[in-house]
Amino acid sequence: MNQFANKTVVVTGGTDGIGRALVLHLLDLGAQVVTCGRSQQKILELEAESPIGKLCVLNVDVAVEKDCERLINHAVKMFGGIDVLINNAGISMRGLMEEGGKGIIPVIKKVMDINFFGAVHSTTFALPHLIHSRGVVVGISSIAGYRGLPGRSGYSASKFALQGWLESLKTELVDKGVHVMWVSPGFTASNIRNVALDQTGAAQGESPLDENQLMDASTCANIILNAIAKRKRTVVMTFQGKQTVFLNRFFPSLADMLVRKFFFKKGELVK
């Protein structure tokens, strides 16, 4: 019997990328899954591919507090409680502070609203149910939650905030039996860079990385589910990710240099 059979798992942002892979693996493992996204087309595509009665997909924007309340209430009404909440919904950005001027401020706010406040909203409403089930709260963070990345200042800020907030929550809940954890994928093939906001707030519409060279979303989802089953505290994925976190912790000036070299060519942000 696996850890997820007949458990109720809420995954935010489960209609694409890593979230979608999590949803499909969880269904294979016999879980009941409630998930969400904003695109109606992606919702219908996911529903078409899943067993009836085990999956519920809602049109929810995690940046909106009331939407998250509806998501959590729906999960409880349908399946009687919540065992695991995976705060996965997220967007990215690509723009330099110096070039963006004041136009970049709403971009950073939007990223914070989804990546950080989205997790705060969903977790707040799910908390009484997770305490009741002695369940698990997961944050899908990033290497950018350990190391600020150029051109992704708002994204890095949102992931640092997410980790700090989850660590506080973890400590608050020590006696309640709720396990709080965060996992940090390295670069993973998905739609995130395509829809990342540029410094004007428009989707950049392309990926600056070769997506074929990256970890696939299914492998990433498997690592996340293994970590949840083992109730790990944190996971940092990929060799490049582990190396970046290590270097940044012990040799931060060297990390500044190497990260700069990775993202810039001749003074221009190329990744």
Q: Which residues are catalytic?
A: 155
Closer residue to ligand NAP in complex, CB, 209/254: 209
Q: Smaller CB distance to ligand NAP: residue 140 or 228?
A: 140
For residue 264, give the H/E element and its range. Answer: strand 264-265
Q: How far apart are CB 1 and ligand NAP at their closest, in Å?
A: 29
Nearer to ligand NAP, 39 or 240 (CB): 39
- Which two structure tokens, joined as six digits, stand for 93? 């950005």
Query: What minimum distance in Å lies between the beta carbon of 245 and ligand NAP?
Result: 12
Nearest distance in Å: CB 173, ligand NAP: 22
Rounded to the nearest 10°, the torsion over CA 14, 62, 197, 260 is -80
Summarize as ranges the residues that interact with ligand NAP (CB under 6 A). Answer: 12-13, 15-19, 36-39, 42, 60-63, 88-91, 114, 118, 140, 142, 185, 187-188, 190-192, 195
CA atoms within 13 A on the CB side of 77: 7
Cβ closest to ligand NAP, residue 133 vs residue 187:
187
| Secondary-structure percent of the chain, ordered helix, strand, coil, rounded to 5 | 50, 15, 30
C-alpha–C-alpha distance, residues 43 and 236, integer Å: 29
CA distance 219 to 216: 6
Cβ 94 to ligand NAP shortest distance, Å: 13
Residue 101 DSSP code: G
CB closer to ligand NAP out of 89 and 235: 89
Smallest gap from Cβ 78 to ligand NAP, in A, equals 18
DSSP string, 93-154: EE--HHHHGGGHHHHHHHHIIIIIIHHHHHHHHHHHHHHHHT-EEEEE--GGGTS--TT-HH
The rounded distance, in Å, linking the Cα atoms of 145 and 26 is 26
Length in residues, the chain: 271
Rounded-to-integer distance, Cα 232 and Cα 193, Å: 28
